[in-house]
């Protein structure tokens, strides 16, 4: 094998040294700075992205807080509106109930007065009919001729008891 020939070791070591130095110089001054630049750019981009994400998170939290505040305010207004509406409906219901109670009480009094008047008229008519029947019965029995005034007075006395 020609690589293991000791007479060519010197030139092989010379070219090996030149290749290593050249490779070292290329790597040190060309490739590694590009890789370092790429890594720095990538780190800077990550930092920018993280900063932007943090800013967006804070903005989202602010928007969420504003939304929750608006929602609480709307809920409060809706509750107040519902309470006011409930109070208005209750007041209207109470007013209508009072009107209906008054109307029913008035109708009950009118009906009671009409019933009392009808009862009094019926009793008056009944008293007259009872007096006529008593007079006819006394005439039919033949005891004595009944005095209409006395019979009416007796019937009224019995009816009053």
Q: What is the DSSP string of the chain?
A: -GGG-GGGHHHHHHHHHHHHHHHHHHIIIIIHHHHHHHHHHHHHHHHHHHHHHHHHHHHHHHHHHHHHHHHHHHHHHHHHHHHHHHHHHHHHHHHHHHHHHHHHHHHHHHHHHHHHHHHHHHHHHHHHHHHHHHHHHHHHHTS-PPPHHHHHHHHHHHHH-
Of 94 and 150, the structure prediction assigns the larger pLDDT to 94
Dihedral, 113, 118, 123, 124 alpha carbons, nearest 10? 100
For residues 6-22, average pLDDT:
92
Q: pTM of the prediction?
A: 0.44
Residue 1's pLDDT band (cuts 50, 70, 90): low
The two tokens of residue 14 are 């010379």
Confidence of residue 144 (pLDDT cuts 50, 70, 90): low
Q: In the chain, what are the domain boundaries?
A: 21-159
């Amino acid at each position: 094998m020609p690589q293991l020939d000791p007479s060519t070791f010197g030139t092989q070591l010379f070219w090996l040294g030149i290749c290593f130095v050249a490779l070292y110089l290329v790597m040190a001054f060309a490739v590694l700075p590009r890789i370092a630049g790429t890594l720095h750019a990538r780190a800077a981009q990550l930092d920018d992205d993280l900063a932007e994400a943090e800013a967006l998170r804070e903005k989202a939290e602010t928007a969420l807080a504003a939304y929750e505040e608006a929602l609480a305010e709307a809920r409060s207004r809706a509750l107040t509106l519902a309470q006011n509406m409930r109070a208005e409906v209750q007041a209207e219901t109470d007013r209508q109930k009072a009107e209906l109670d008054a109307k029913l009480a008035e109708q009950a009094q009118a009906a009671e007065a009409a019933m009392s008047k009808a009862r009094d008229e019926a009793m008056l008519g009944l008293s007259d009919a009872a007096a006529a029947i008593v007079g006819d019965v006394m005439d039919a029995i033949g005891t004595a001729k009944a005095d209409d005034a006395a019979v009416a007075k007796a019937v009224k006395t019995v009816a009053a008891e």
